[in-house]
Structure formats: structure tokens, C-alpha cells
Amino acid sequence: MLLFFISPWIGWALVPLTVWCIVFFRDPERATPLGAGLITSPADGRLLPVGCAAPPGELGMGPEPRVRLSIFMNVFDVHVNRVPLDGNVVALSYRKGRFFNAAFDKASEHNERMSIRIRGEREAGDLAVVQIAGLIARRIKCDLVQGQQVRRGERFGIIRFGSRLDVFLPPGAQVLAVPNQRVKAGETVLAQLLLTRF
């Protein structure tokens, strides 16, 4: 409001930027689906083609390739991230890196990232979630701590201004989402875990 008193022109010029910032940082409530072994999307955005890759080495999950689901968030998507499954945080690792376009596969390997390893309940296996900075994004925020118990759909962080999240599934998980599908954090089911004990 002060800018309108100083210069109405500047005030009106900054209105679109102000509105966009309000929209960007919105955090709507979500209805997380119930059911054992469900993996929900940790981010809003578009699901990229399903691939296979080794999880980040710093998480200690081994070199074997796993199914990787990647979600690209544009600057208009909700950027609050949510936990994809019930379990315990067993490892966290932040790594500095570059800022390639997050829609490219090389972003997973070379860009700045925060890697999270979650051990699912009922011996479903370990899952990795990786927050990846993009071309415009310059800040990754993760509120999780090692040893923390987490619940599917809980908020855990945010990546500011366009980015990507990768989910490395446990062996045997069945992918339910399809490439190019629009997904919502905490609501859209990405996969179903193979539970070995009930």
C-alpha cells in the first residue's frame, strides 16, 4: 500500500507480482486416501515418463536400479511437499548442485537436491523421496529429521519457484499412475506397495 502513496504507477505495476506470490505460496487442505500400502504423490505437478535409476548414493540404498517416478512442478503449481507413505525417516542428505531445467532427467543427477529415505511400515521396504531444485528454484526447504515418524499426507517441505520431486519405489511396488497425469500432493495415488506382513 505504501507504494501507491509514493507512486501509483509502481504500485499498480507490482500488483500482478503480489498476486502471483500469494498464489504460489498457497497451501490447500488435501483429503489423503486411506488404505494399507498406498504411496501418494509428494508434490503437485505432471508425472514424467516412468524410468529406472539407482537412488542417490548418499542414502545408502545400494546401486540397484529402482522404479523412479518424477513429478515436474511448474511455477503455477502448489509447491508444498507431502510425505508419500507411513513410516520412519532413516536418512537425510542435502547436496549442492547445478540448476538445470527440472523437466530434464539430468536434473535428478546434477541439480541441487535434498534426499530423504523413508522406511515403510509392515516391512514394505525403503522408499526415497528427492526434492530437486530447478532452473528457477533456488531454495529447498525440508522440515524432517532423522528418526522421525511420518504419516502419509503430512506436509514436510517446499521448493520455491519451479522444481521436481523424484520417488524411488521399493522393489515389487505396483505403479498405478500414468505418464503425463496431473497429480496432487497427498491425494493422488502413485503406487501400491507389496506388503509382506500384516
Average pLDDT, rounded, for the chain: 85
**Active-site residue, selected from the candidate residues 41, 70, 115, 163:** 163
The answer to pTM > 0.95 is no
Beta-carbon neighbour count of residue 73 at 10 Å? 26
Neighbour tally for 152: CB within 10 Å: 20
Q: Is the pLDDT of residue 123 over 70?
A: no
| pLDDT tens digits, 37-75 | 899 999 999 999 999 999 999 999 999 999 999 999 988
Residue 163 designated active-site: yes
Residue with cell 496432487: 184
Q: What phi and psi, each to the nearest 5 degrees, are found at residue 21?
A: -65, -40
Residue-wise pLDDT for 128-176, tens only, equals: 999 998 776 567 899 999 999 999 999 999 987 668 999 999 998 999 9
The full set of domains in the chain, from first to last, is 31-192 (2.70.70)
CA 188 from chain center: how many Å?
Answer: 13
Phi, psi of 117 (to 5 degrees): -110, 125
> 3-class secondary structure for 19-79?
HHHHHHCCCCCCCCCCCCCEEECCCCEEECCCEEECCCHHHCCCCCCEEEEEEEECCCCCC
